[in-house]
Amino acid sequence: MKQIAVSVPGKLMLMGEHAVIYGRPCIVTAIDQRIITTAELLEESIFKLEAPDVKVTGYQKTTADLGKGEIPKEAKFAELAVLNFLNAYKISKGIKIITKSPFSANFGFGSSAGTVVGIIKSLSELFSVTVSQKELFDLSYKTVLDVQGKGSGFDVAAAIYGGTIFFQNKGEVIESLTADGLNLVIGYCGVKADTVSMINSVESKMKNYKAGIDKIFDNIGGLVIEAKSAILEKDWERLGTLMDYNQNYLEDLAVSTEKLNNMIEGAKKSGAYGTKLSGAGGGDCMVALVSEEKKLKVTQAIEVVGGQVINVTPNAPGVKVENI
């Protein structure tokens, strides 16, 4: 049986959470924790899924039933990615998908978006369908919206393009930034965030206090534009200050938590250039921008308050085909 494997990087949001959903820019970096997706052609018209990292084994249904009936939430991204690909390219074949990830989905590293990108890319290779990066983005982003109804697409873009990118307007702007020298320490707070719930929480605030929330988003967008210049100039101290300001606005939006705040404060006091939560908030991770000299001290400070330091490297390459 013909098989194709691809790998996809995880992501970390550096600047611009929540505001990016409302049209403001963000900056995101791909990280070297990669999801491996294998696609295999089957003789029968069935879909099989093996995703042991999210406790899905032995899942299958006929291809005619894809997208129908009750779909377990752990299988939904994969199933709808396959369905959207087959529909988009008028293909009717049996497919087996296997996904493996070295990192926990709990960390908020974009595993759902990465899974979707990996599946659609592996299927395009399996069926020799030429798919541009933009086409891969559009179909993957559609799939994410089909599942969760909300999202800006920055995590999809990070999975496809890799490196560090400036992103805006649901993928209308995707600009690669030269960010070598970016030195980060990542701390996991021990609580899995519910991204959609956090987005809904901010959306509710937007409905009730639109002028004030719009002002916050405008200010965050301004910080992101300044951060883009700081990254290109490798002015890490300035970037750190901008991250601190971004965190203040996220606290105004009430998406940070006491545990995240304690980790952030510890990292800052231990010499980080700047530090903030990374992602939707309510849990998951914080990120500290550090010099190499302060890295160990910042790591220890995060662990002292109960955070789990995750070793990752930023600026990882985007989706790519692997040898199997």
Percent of all residues in the chain with a pLDDT value above 70, rounded to a whole number: 97
User: Which two three-digit tokens encode residue 133?
Assistant: 């990066």
pLDDT at 245: 98
Stated as kind and residue range, the H or E segment containing 39 is strand 26-42
| SS3 state at 154 | helix
Reported CATH class of domain 3-177+315-322? alpha beta
Active site residue 155: yes
Provide the 8-state DSSP code for 7. E
- Considering 53, 138, 155, 252, which one is annotated as catalytic? 155
| More confident position, 243 or 150 | 243
pLDDT(17) > 90: yes
- Residue located via tokens 């206090």: 209
Cα torsion for 207, 210, 216, 218, to the nearest 10°?
110
Q: The domain 184-310 belongs to what CATH superfamily?
A: GHMP kinase, C-terminal domain (3.30.70.890)
pLDDT in tens, 60-118: 999 999 999 999 988 999 999 999 999 999 999 999 999 998 765 555 566 889 999 99
Q: Which tokens belong to 78?
A: 């994969």
Residues 275-314: tens digit of each pLDDT: 999 988 998 999 999 999 999 999 999 999 999 999 989 9
Q: CA nearest 283: which of 34, 100, 105, 32?
A: 105
CB 286 within 8 A of CB 278: yes
How is the chain split into domains, by residue range?
A: 3-177+315-322, 184-310
Helix (H) or strand (E) holding 51: strand 46-51
